[in-house]
Amino acid sequence: MRLHDLKPRPGARHRRKRLGQGESSGHGKTSGRGGKGQTARSGSSIRIGFEGGQMPLIRRIPKRGFNNARFAIRYIVVNVGDLDRFNDGARVDEAALRAAGLASGHATGIKILGAGQLSKKLVVCAHAFSASAKSKIEAKGGSCEIPPPKAAPATAPKPAAS
């Protein structure tokens, strides 16, 4: 078999729809755009959820209840096996994990999970540990630390009204 013998599998390629080639072609006259109006015009695009000026469904239905997603705690997970790349006796914190490329993105904190094996003594500073991760780190003589919570930014006192 040579390159010039290669061809797509049957049914993998479709003919191009030839628009505006007379009424008997099946795609003549309006060329598959229906009747008149905004969508029949060239360059028209209607955003998702737009209902022609009518109040959209998403704004008509009542919004009830409370969604806790805004306040959820999102952790960047790192496995114990990934920590083996650090030197023996090293302190592994969020900055070290980000520098090593093990943690990236925005999150509330770092969580260490127990997948993999650890062969070095490390001091691991993270916001959460699984039970198996904690036992594996401490079994090698290392320790698990949880950093203090970040203090809320202090607001300046308001000037007294005179």
Residue ranges of the domains in the chain? 70-145
In the predicted structure, residue 66 carries a pLDDT above the cut 80 = yes
Architecture of domain 70-145: Ribosomal Protein L15; Chain: K; domain 2 (3.100)
Pick from 123, 127, 124, 125: which is nearest to 149 by CA? 127
- Under the banding of pLDDT at 50, 70 and 90, the label for residue 69 is confident
Angle at 142 between CA 140 and CA 145, to 5 degrees: 145
Whether 120 contacts 87, CB under 8 Å = yes
Q: What are the distances in angstroms from CA 59 to CA 2, 49, 54, 55, 62? A: 60, 10, 10, 7, 8
The answer, yes or no, to whether residue 133 has pLDDT greater than 90, is: yes
pLDDT at 6: 95
Report yes or no: 92 and 125 within 8 Å, Cβ to Cβ. Answer: yes
Output 160 or 31, whichever has higher pLDDT: 31
Query: Measuring CA to CA, how many Å separate 18 from each of 25, 27, 92, 115?
Result: 8, 7, 63, 56
Count the alpha carbons within 13 Å of 121 in the hemisphere toward its beta carbon. 4
pLDDT class of 19 with cuts at 50, 70, 90:
very high
Task: Please check the confidence at residue 150 and state whether its pLDDT lies above 90.
Answer: no
Predicted pLDDT of residue 38: 87
- The model carries a pTM of 0.56
Q: How far apart are CA 9 and CA 31, in angstroms?
A: 29
Flag whether pLDDT at 137 surpasses 90.
yes
Inter-residue contact 19 to 32 (CB < 8 Å): yes
- 130-134 long-range Cβ contacts below 8 angstroms, 24+ apart: 132/80, 133/79, 133/80
